[in-house]
Structure 1
Amino acid sequence: MNLDLRYTEDQELLRDSVRAMLADHAPWTRVLKVAESPEPDDADLWRLLAVETGLAALAVPEHLGGAGGGFAETAVVLEELGRACAPVPYLGTTVATRALLHLGDTDLLRTVAAGEVIALALPFSAGPPRDDREFVSKPEVQPHFVTRNSDLAARSEVEVTLSGDGEPLLNGAVHSVAEALRARVLLVPAGGGLYAVDTSAAGVRREQVVSLDETRPLCDVSLWNVPARLLASGERAAAALDAALVTGAALLASEQLGLAQWCLDTTVEHLRTRYQFGRAVGSFQALKHRLADLWVELAQARAVARHAAACVASEDPDARLAASLAQAHCGPVAVRAAEECVQLHGGIGFTWEHPAHLYLKRAKSAAIAYGTAAHHRTVLATLTDLTPA
């Protein structure tokens, strides 16, 4: 399939409008204020994104109240959110939306369109498996999903029992779940199935844990005899979960791209205006080389991130490979861009009053989200038959 990786005119207009909106409503001073507050995210900005503009439901069909766009447009929004380091649960809700679209759950898709947060209750570091056959369950007790290439079983232990009326009840815990503190609904893998849990139900507890990135807090989710609705089971549930994790890995690359672009642009501007020894710091050849190398890596990152978004949007058979390629490259590039931003800003780059630390923390945190670069290199080796016999 031939994919056009260029931004369309509509996507450019979308980018401009989102960037202008974030410049007004999410300047770095506000982001820092939210990060220092006890609130899990910027509720006002989320309301603007999800309710007033409908950007959180770009991929939801129009007849369900969504914008009727696609994941290519969602990737453009994520690129701008990464550029602003915006503290909103956009990525997590997008990943959950992908699972719901795969299942065709119209009720929960309408919930997304209404501006509610829905989160996938898996550790933030959980990456997609190497192929569709990786998702298996333990048939004798079926306590949880496990994958042969990760330790999800150790970190996401949720059991399914039945009430006296035969309704499913969930018991267990999931650790380090991202963007779930404000979620109205959790999608919980358990017992070989995928369940929807209303977070207002008795027995649901969410406890925020200390995380490196204050703009994307993590929490531990505990479930005690919590009533749940079965969305899917068996292969259908595994396929939905797989599609969600592949989409998360692919679209996270766009967020990392936006973050890295901000770091490069900000550093270039600083070096152009900062003078030492009577000349602009940016005129020193050693610094020019560092920025030139970063620019090349960023150009490559844009290509693989756009390719991954296009594959997910078109449901291309190579979406898994494209997503892993994007994460294997974009995660390290974002970290390097943020590190260069801190270092080349000199003393001010290490202060709390400069936004560079927000981007470094987001880059480092995102580098392990939906699978590390090492995990995705293993996926690439498996998909391309480069693993040793």
Structure 2
Amino acid sequence: MEFRFTEEQQMIRETAAGFFADCSTSAAVRAAMVTERGYDLSLWRQICDDLYLHAITLPETIGGMGLGYVELIAVMEQMGRYLVCAPYFATVCQAVPALQLADAASVSGPWLERILGGETAALAWIGQERPGCEAVTATCEVVEGGFLLSGDYRLVVDGHSADILVLAARQAGTEGREGISLFVVDAAAEGIRRQWTPALDQTRHLGRVEVDSLLLPAEACLGSCGEAGTVLEQVLQLATVALAAEQMGVAQQVQDLAVQYTREREQFNRPIASFQAIKHKAADMMLRTEVARSACYYAACIADEAWQGGAMAAELPEAAAVAKSYCSDACFSNAGEALQMHGGVGFTWEYDVHLYFKRAKASELMLGTASEHRETLAKLLLDGGANA
């Protein structure tokens, strides 16, 4: 596959890069990450009102841009480079796909319009640390006039501050992807308890959402009751590709930071960048980043096919697993090398490398580790061989 950006895609990528370079500075990131919300509301308004980046995949029928995943991945790459503190990943890469794929328009339309207006959203599904749909432990019970939800959702990205929640719950006695439904609800609804859960990565906030006998009307269910397991899996695969793009952006940025520092730091009256060992480390970092970029944008093309129902949609699980496994390794390895190339100061609070290192580790664990995705690839290959 020969890949190159269209003129429009390149413009989106360059616009995002220039904006985040100016607005997501080290000082801005450090100011936002210590707040409970985790981001500057004025920055989010700029992302929505000025750049309209939140509307990339929203349908044109409601005023969105109606674009695809290549454009979204281009934005996520730059968000990783500049550690943008914003509810973009939670809203655009998780909640929006859930709303659009689970229900074409009948229920999701008004909620998507609220997101278009600048409201934030979050997808909650993790009840226990297991892969994919197996992590769903919250239960839903059909009652007169609607549904009764109970459960404890953990590690919800921006779940404590989102305006809208998409909740995954399963019917009692089911497992895997069977019996899962998706529900959309106003986060301020009575019966929902939320709290911020401080984590290793201070630049991305996680929340805990608890519901106890939450009564929802029938129209809160996205699509058919008990049949959203396949949709949830696809949403998580799309989010995995987006997260891999962010990791690739982190890998690129820590490489740039390390090279810049080694050009300035001198030992024996010359920059340490001139030492062969440093050159080898920089070359290895560049190789990892470039291969990660290739894997990531291939996965973006496949995600675009899946998003639009194209002929290659069935390849999404494999492409997502390849991208996430390699980008996780590249991101964490590059961040570790950058710390080493900075020497002792790389571990200090004054330098930003430690922030990228924490993001690298946290994102490595999110949506499946590299080992888990390689296991997925092995199963796909073995199943393909058996079917052949």
The alignment's TM-score, normalised by the length of structure 1, stands at 0.88
- Given the superposition, is the C-alpha separation of residues 341 and 22 from structure 1 closer, same or farther in structure 2, using an over 3 Å criterion? same
The partner residue of 2:140 within 146, 160, 173 is 160
Structure 2: runs of 5 or more not aligned: 171-178, 307-311
Compare 361-370 and 49-58 and name the one that shifted more. Answer: 49-58
Distance between the aligned counterparts of 2:380 and 2:67, measured in 1?
30
Aligned-pair CA distance for 1:217:
1.2
The partner residue of 1:212 within 195, 200, 203 is 200
**Contact 1:274–1:280 under 8 Å retained in 2:** yes
The partner residue of 1:27 within 25, 28, 33 is 25
Distance between the aligned counterparts of 2:158 and 2:77, measured in 1?
18
Aligned-pair CA distance for 1:177:
1.1
Distance between the aligned counterparts of 1:170 and 1:337, measured in 2?
43
The equivalent of 2:48 in structure 1 is: 50
Per-residue displacement from partner, 1:329-378 (whole Å, max 9, x unpaired)?
00011011111112211232111111111101111000011111111011
Compare 101-110 and 249-258 and name the one that shifted more. Answer: 101-110
Question: Per the alignment, in what secondary structure is the counterpart of residue 181 of structure 1?
Answer: coil
Distance between the aligned counterparts of 2:302 and 2:293, measured in 1?
14
Letter of the 1:178 counterpart: V
**Contact 2:160–2:208 under 8 Å retained in 1:** no
Superposition pairs of residues 169-188 of structure 1, within 5 angstroms? 169-188=148-167
**Contact 1:126–1:369 under 8 Å retained in 2:** no
The equivalent of 1:231 in structure 2 is: 222
Superposition pairs of residues 210-289 of structure 1, within 5 angstroms? 210-228=198-216, 229-233=220-224, 236-289=227-280
The partner residue of 2:296 within 279, 293, 305 is 305
Letter of the 1:379 counterpart: T
Aligned-pair CA distance for 1:42:
2.4
Compare 378-387 and 19-28 and name the one that shifted more. Answer: 378-387
The equivalent of 2:334 in structure 1 is: 337
**Contact 1:256–1:334 under 8 Å retained in 2:** yes
The equivalent of 1:18 in structure 2 is: 16
- Given the superposition, is the C-alpha separation of residues 124 and 71 from structure 1 closer, same or farther in structure 2, using an over 3 Å criterion? farther
Distance between the aligned counterparts of 1:4 and 1:350, measured in 2?
40
Distance between the aligned counterparts of 1:126 and 1:76, measured in 2?
30
Aligned-pair CA distance for 1:4:
4.1
The equivalent of 2:63 in structure 1 is: 65
Distance between the aligned counterparts of 1:126 and 1:113, measured in 2?
32
Compare 230-239 and 366-375 and name the one that shifted more. Answer: 230-239
The equivalent of 2:39 in structure 1 is: 41
**Contact 2:121–2:166 under 8 Å retained in 1:** yes
Distance between the aligned counterparts of 1:125 and 1:334, measured in 2?
26
Equivalent residues, number: 363
2:94 corresponds to 1:95:
yes
Per-residue displacement from partner, 1:97-122 (whole Å, max 9, x unpaired)?
11222121322222222221111102
Aligned-pair CA distance for 1:387:
10
Distance between the aligned counterparts of 1:160 and 1:358, measured in 2?
39
**Contact 1:350–1:356 under 8 Å retained in 2:** yes
2:376 corresponds to 1:385:
no
The partner residue of 1:106 within 106, 109, 114 is 109
The structure 1 segments of at least 4 consecutive aligned residues displaced by more than 4 Å after TM superposition are: 124-129, 386-389
- Given the superposition, is the C-alpha separation of residues 67 and 111 from structure 1 closer, same or farther in structure 2, using an over 3 Å criterion? same
Question: Per the alignment, in what secondary structure is the counterpart of residue 194 of structure 1?
Answer: strand
The equivalent of 2:173 in structure 1 is: none
Two-structure CA RMSD over aligned residues (Å)? 2.1
**Contact 2:124–2:167 under 8 Å retained in 1:** yes
The alignment's TM-score, normalised by the length of structure 2, stands at 0.88
Per-residue displacement from partner, 1:242-279 (whole Å, max 9, x unpaired)?
11101011111110111110010111111112111111
**Contact 1:117–1:183 under 8 Å retained in 2:** yes
Distance between the aligned counterparts of 1:256 and 1:160, measured in 2?
35
Structure 1: runs of 5 or more not aligned: 130-145
Aligned-pair CA distance for 1:301:
0.3
Distance between the aligned counterparts of 1:388 and 1:106, measured in 2?
42
Distance between the aligned counterparts of 2:3 and 2:115, measured in 1?
28
Question: Per the alignment, in what secondary structure is the counterpart of residue 44 of structure 1?
Answer: helix
Letter of the 1:120 counterpart: L
**Contact 1:197–1:226 under 8 Å retained in 2:** no
The equivalent of 2:120 in structure 1 is: 117
Distance between the aligned counterparts of 1:8 and 1:355, measured in 2?
33
Distance between the aligned counterparts of 1:345 and 1:245, measured in 2?
36
The equivalent of 2:285 in structure 1 is: 294
**Contact 1:100–1:240 under 8 Å retained in 2:** no
Question: Per the alignment, in what secondary structure is the counterpart of residue 137 of structure 2?
Answer: strand
**Contact 1:125–1:370 under 8 Å retained in 2:** no
Per-residue displacement from partner, 1:263-302 (whole Å, max 9, x unpaired)?
1011111111211111110011111111111111111100
The equivalent of 1:139 in structure 2 is: none
Question: Per the alignment, in what secondary structure is the counterpart of residue 224 of structure 1?
Answer: strand
Distance between the aligned counterparts of 2:30 and 2:204, measured in 1?
12
